[in-house]
Amino acid sequence: MLAAAVAVGVELDREQARRLNRELRRHEAMSSAARALARRDLSERELSERLARSRVAPGERGEVVARLAAVGAIDDKRVARARAELLAERDSGDALIRHDLAGRGLAEELVEAALAELEPEHVRAARVLQKRGSNLKTARYLARKGFSEESIGDPVAEGTPPAVR
């Protein structure tokens, strides 16, 4: 371990042993973070929580998150944009997307910026209505998926029989 100034056959004094232990903890924290990020992109908060569950000490956890953010391995803006796009592709409305992103610990301005880059909610709702049919069942589906009443109300009212309205 070069960072701890250790070599084979050299007897460790107390300070060198402490330095070695500190470097080993940093290495283990970075390895744990790398394994987590290999599976999927995480926000800073998600990575920090994942490291906390792996029993990484707060000092090492903060250092690892800061180092990975500095080199671009974790980027909350990228996570917000990618997650918002994925949820929009899965027929999610703005409210559901906003809730999901906020639950991942993303800042409100990043959430709003990601939503602003998406196709307008009423256009996504109209596409779902066209695909599934303009009826009450579809309106309930859209409501569950986080679409606003404005996005749901008008297209459904146009396609439903007067007796149902």
- Confidence band (pLDDT; 50, 70, 90) for 163? very low
pLDDT of residue 103 exceeding 90: yes
Q: What's this model's pTM, rounded to 2 decimal places?
A: 0.77
Give the model confidence (pLDDT) of 50-78 as tens digits.
999 999 999 999 999 999 999 999 999 99
DSSP string, 33-88: HHHHHHHS---HHHHHHHHHHTT--HHHHHHHHHHHHHTTSS-HHHHHHHHHHHHH
Closest of 34, 27, 23 to residue 71, by C-alpha: 34
Residue range 128-141, pLDDT digits in tens:
999 999 889 999 99
Q: What is the mean pLDDT of the chain?
A: 87
**Spatial separation of the C-alpha atoms in residues 110 and 92, rounded to whole Å:** 18
